[in-house]
Amino acid sequence: METVLRGVGVSDGVAVGEVRHMGTAVLEPPVRTVAADEVEREQARARQAVEWVAADLVARGNLAGGEAQAVLEAQALMARDPELATDVERRIAEGSTAERAVYDAFAAYRVLLLGAGDYLAGRVADLDDVRNRLVARLLGVPMPGVPDSDYPYVLVARDLAPADTALLDPALVLGFVTQEGGPTSHSAILARALGVPAVVAVPGAGELVEGTTVALDGSDGQVVIEPGEELRAELVARAEQRRAAVAAVSGPGATSDGHAVPLLANIGGVGDVAAAVQAGAEGVGLFRTEFLFLDDHKQAPSVEVQQEAYRQVLEAFPEGRVVVRVLDAGADKPLDFLTPAEEPNPALGVRGLRTLLDHPEVLAGQLTALARAADGLSVRLEVMAPMVADRADAAQFAAACQAAGLPAKVGAMVEIPSAALRAGALLREVDFLSLGTNDLAQYTFAADRQTGSLARLQDPWQPALLDLVHAAAQAAQTRGKSCGVCGEAAADPLLACVLTGLGVTSLSMSPTAIPRVRATLAQYTLAACQEAARAALAADTPQEAREAVKGVLGVA
């Protein structure tokens, strides 16, 4: 009988493969005194580790190219720094182990860098990464970051941050299993974007032995350890059945009686456009522009660089609609040059639109780049701000868009309960709303979206969250304006029917989720969706809401 771990399935499909762990930050090596006759051997070990890590960084740089190559080469130079080497040798001569000597020597250097002013202080994160790599090499534990592998594997991690995944090779990752994270965490979003199965919030994922074969089902949240042949075949067959049912429906999103619900794609850049087009997306409902800003730790990309990146996306949807979200920095998406370093509670701090209003030149640069990118194109450009709290926020954003001469509809994301409750006030300033249900759940339930143990509260079926969706959608409907959903809630096929019934006018999701949502929506009339919505609102728990909706829609 196989051992089964259970978590939350967040990206459909089945993967079978060997476990590879994401290397975690290195712990402090214990203090141990080495005997005099071990000193030379320890010093040699330290030198070898430096050479190995530096060569590895250079090799990774060659693979990555561009800006990443420059950063990785600078890190290789740090690893080979002669002063650091002398300090390490001295510490070993005084009785430290190689790993402890490296750890302490880097700590001393770190203090120097921090004291040397802004520019050098900004390199501390790079220095820490080099230290972690050296210590990991000396301790014989996995390197921090994405594992090196020549063959496909199931990636196991505590959780994944956007920066962790910059060097991820999608061809090698069969699926994700994470210990932390909920349905709206970056691991879940990334898995859906890559179209790989994923199960998050799996207690015990950290203890999965490297190299063990697992089978994961991203639909029901099972992770089976060392699955037998029969079970593997059964899981794969079930996934295939689901896939075939979905492939049978195509065309624009609509209920069975023809109520149109445009199905749009969430993208992070031009790299995601092909998948969106292939999935039949009717446009882009959320272009997350943060990825453009991750390359340089010191400053925003130039207007020209941004203009080119936006243009490539806009050109891909000549007749469609593209909703671009201006930079959402801070909290789970920190940017060194914009995000305050010492906020006690970053999720409640200066983030999203607040960051941009504090740095109006960054907002103006982005809006100018968008205006230039859209010039002469037939695409329907819409631009929205993240983390709008009240009418004053909406007004300031609308004014900035006007000042930039943006030929676009202007919108506000509804991610804070205050914005949903007073959606009507926001709509006096902007043309449309887009519900970011990931953050809206986080702020409604005071439940960090990155904390796996709080997944229950991040469940988009929570009736309180649906109340807020309803409030915003109704406010928009009354004023004849649109109100879409671009949070991960839209990717859940049954919930998509409920959202439609609540009055939401479009659904935006990872491209890979579109076919299933389209196929499910096409099975029900608008009236059935509205009845499902009433049943969900009448429930007290997410489980009750799911069951009630399944009852109304006749789902087994």
Q: Is 7 in the site for Mg ion (CB under 5 A)?
A: no
CB of 439 to Mg ion, least distance (A): 4
Q: Which two tokens stand for residue 118?
A: 């802004």
Length of the chain (residues): 556
For residues 550 and 494, is the Cβ–Cβ distance under 8 A?
yes
Site track 405-434 with Mg ion (rule: CB under 5 A), x = hit: ----------x-------------------
Asked if 483 is an active-site residue, the reply is: no
Residues 528 and 552 sit within 8 Å (Cβ to Cβ): yes
Binding-site members for phosphoenolpyruvate are 288, 325, 438-439, 449
Among 156, 486, 490, 528, binds ligand PEP (CB under 6 A): 486
Active-site choice (186, 401, 470, 497):
186
- Shortest spacing between CB 403 and Mg ion, in angstroms: 25
Q: Decide: is 437 part of the binding site for ligand PEP (CB under 6 A).
A: yes
Cβ of residue 153: shortest distance to ligand PEP, in angstroms? Answer: 26
Do residues 147 and 22 touch, judged by C-beta distance below 8 A? yes
Q: Residue 459 interacts with ligand PEP (CB under 6 A)? A: no
Binding piece for ligand PEP, criterion CB under 6 A, among 125-133, 432-440, 525-533, 538-546: 432-440
Partner residues linked to 178 by β-bridges = 157
**CA-to-CA distance for 301 and 188, rounded, in angstroms?**
27
Is residue 98 at the binding interface for ligand PEP, with CB under 6 A as the rule? Answer: no
Tokens, residue 138: 């000396």
Are 382 and 321 in contact by the 8 Å Cβ rule? The answer is yes
Annotated binding site for Mg(2+): 415, 439
Residue selected from 17, 436, 460, 515 as contacting ligand PEP according to rule CB under 6 A:
436
461 with 542: CB under 8 angstroms?
yes
The binder of ligand PEP chosen from 487, 501, 503, 515 (CB under 6 A): 487
- 415 counts as binding ligand PEP under rule CB under 6 A: yes
Residue with tokens 């089902």: 217
Q: Confirm or reject binding of residue 159 to ligand PEP (CB under 6 A).
A: no
Neighbours of 280 (CB within 10 A): 17
Partner touching 500 among Mg ion, ligand PEP, none, CB below 5 to 8 Å by kind: none
Per-residue CA distances from 482 to 20, 326, 505 (Å): 44, 19, 6
User: What is the C-alpha separation between 91 and 68, in angstroms, rounded?
Assistant: 32
Tokens in use for 529? 């969706």
Nearest to 85 by CA among 51, 121, 136: 51
Our CA dihedral for 489, 458, 289, 11, rounded to 10 degrees, sits at: -60
160: alpha, beta or left? (left if phi > 0; alpha if psi -120 to 50): beta
Structure tokens at 299: 């400053």
Quick check: 439 binds Mg ion (CB under 5 A)?
A: yes
User: Which of 10/379 has CB closer to Mg ion?
Assistant: 10
Looking at 195-203, 234-242, 435-443, 496-504, which segment touches Mg ion (CB under 5 A)? 435-443
Q: How many residues bind ligand PEP (CB under 6 A)?
A: 10
Considering only 29-37, 60-68, 434-442, 521-529, which stretch makes contact with ligand PEP by CB under 6 A? Answer: 434-442
Q: Please work out, in degrees rounded to the nearest 5, the angle formed at the alpha carbon of residue 510 by the alpha carbons of 191 and 235.
A: 50
* 165 forms part of the interface with ligand PEP (CB under 6 A): no
For residue 492, state whether it binds ligand PEP (rule: CB under 6 A).
no
**Residue from 286, 326, 469, 504 that binds ligand PEP (CB under 6 A)?**
286
- Assess whether 186 carries a catalytic annotation: yes
User: Which residues in this chain contact Mg ion in the complex, by CB under 5 A?
Assistant: 415, 436, 439
User: Which residues in this chain contact ligand PEP in the complex, by CB under 6 A?
Assistant: 286, 288, 328, 415, 436-439, 486-487
Q: Which residues are catalytic?
A: 186, 486
